[in-house]
Chain A
């Protein structure tokens, strides 16, 4: 009991020292990376329970570039940001889009991929006949033509139920820009696809990097992509790695490694391997 108390005291005091002290250059040797493991092909588990996917491969590559040991931990999506802030791990590498609400709490590296968001519906759905006047919508500031295209989309989705994963950019998009469409919230994207296949929801939306491989797999062979390519605004500035605000040095390390991986074509190769197309950010 006594020992415990002393340990607790030391922990509190050293904690206070960390908060109070100036930022000391930290020597990162071990980095723990959180991922969701339920968002194929970014992060998921194979039949043997091993973590797989684009994010896992990218993590390995970046860690070897930075010459650090990395451990990957699983974390449910709805608690992934609070747990980073609480210090349970050092970075989030889980297909997370760089988006203003998240940037208030944590900071992000530069985007490692950038992919548009598309809708998806089962084959035979009348929604697949929807034709958008604009092929792509950049939603950073919504022009009148874009608003008209969104209204037309909202009209097509009237009376339909759209599935979103809780705490995602797609949920924010639907609530902000198509508030009159009925939503169903899911804890994981996998459960959402189950319900899309069973017909409980009529449509869903997700990044093309996820949807394109999905439609080529058995569980998605009956699903078809439709609607405009949507980027920006609620969807953010591409997909990045999340770090705590105070870990600026760690963010810089990752930025450098990402830039190298983009420059030498590793990012493109990984993208081709997992998504079937090049989703590397242009700039």
Chain B
């Protein structure tokens, strides 16, 4: 282990963390925005809507993200004339757009299923209570079903956030220089993959440590009725960290 090489690599890799975080944050936000309506389509009584949403989830979930990213990036390049005619080439020319599109489509598919499951897991009694006090369908969803579903979805969605932070590393294959991309560039000059990847791994580990803590804290905050002595203690501990 060459500690000098690790020390040299560290600041360069840290400088790429904002790129990784931007990729993850933007695609998670957009993906969540897509996932909520898609989940509603999945639980809708309309066969057509539910079928369309399921087809989307099925296709995206069953193909590797790397393949999707290559298809979007190199596929759009190959059919440039078509994309130009449609006025979309300005978007697809940019590697950032392609990476965020691929990541967004992917997280939207997984999140759709997480939210769909959570909506269906909302206890019927709660929905009936809302109906009993005369809430309209929309109000029921906004005040009762959606908030409860979000609580239920959080542990699984926390997983999804962590997976997305790691998936951003695939963007390095389409010329975006995030943490993994910088790691590859450093290795190209030093030929010391172990040292550099150990640091890169530690950076992902630290990011995901913070993410998982944040998810835990949010979970406890959203579920006051489930708090126990122990949970409260671990919240305060997490807050101090």
Contacts and interface: CB of A to CB of B under 8 A. Distances in A.
Given A78-B188, A79-B193, A171-B188, A185 B177 contact: yes
Interface of B: 74, 76-78, 80, 93, 95, 173, 175, 177, 181, 184-185, 187-189, 191-193
Nearest to A192: B175
B185 A185 contact: yes
B191 A105 contact: yes
Interface string A63-74: 000000000000
Interface residues of A, number: 24
A81 B191 CA distance: 7
Contacts of A173: none
Given A78-B184, A185-B175, A186-B175, A200 B191 contact: no
B74 A194 contact: yes
B188 A166 contact: yes
Interface string A173-217: 000000000001111000100110111100000000000000000
Contact of A166 (B77, B80, B184): B184
Contacts of A197: 77
Which interface residue of B76, B175, B185, B193 has the most chain A CB atoms within 10 A?
B175
10 contacts: A78-B188, A81-B191, A82-B191, A166-B188, A167-B184, A167-B187, A184-B175, A185-B184, A194-B78, A198-B74
Which applies to chain A's interface (DSSP): helix, strand, loop or mixed?
A: helix
A171 B173 CA distance: 16
B185 A82 contact: no
Contacts of B177: 185
A142 interface: no
A194 B181 contact: no
A56 to B, nearest CB: 24
Chain B CB within 10 Å, residue with most, of A185, A197, A198: A198
A191 B188 CA distance: 18
A31 interface: no
A95 to B, nearest CB: 16
Given A166-B184, A185-B185, A85 B78 contact: no
A101 interface: yes
A200 B95 contact: yes
Interface in A81-104: 81-82, 85, 101-102
A184 B185 CA distance: 11
A195 B77 contact: yes
Given A166-B188, A172-B189, A199-B80, 4 more contacts: A78-B187, A167-B184, A167-B189, A194-B78
B16 to A, nearest CB: 13
Interface string A136-169: 0000000000000000000000000000001110
A185 B187 contact: no
A36 to B, nearest CB: 14
Given A81-B191, A85-B191, A200 B185 contact: no
Contact of A194 (B77, B173, B187): B77
A198 B78 contact: yes
A105 B2 CA distance: 14
B177, B191, B192 interface centre (most CB from chain A within 10 Å): B191
Q: Which 4 A-B pairs have the closest CB atoms?
A: A198-B77, A167-B188, A184-B175, A81-B191
B186 to A, nearest CB: 10
Contacts of A198: 74, 76-78, 80, 93
Given A184-B175, A186-B175, A194-B77, A166 B191 contact: no
A111 to B, nearest CB: 20
B93 A199 contact: yes
A274 B76 CA distance: 31
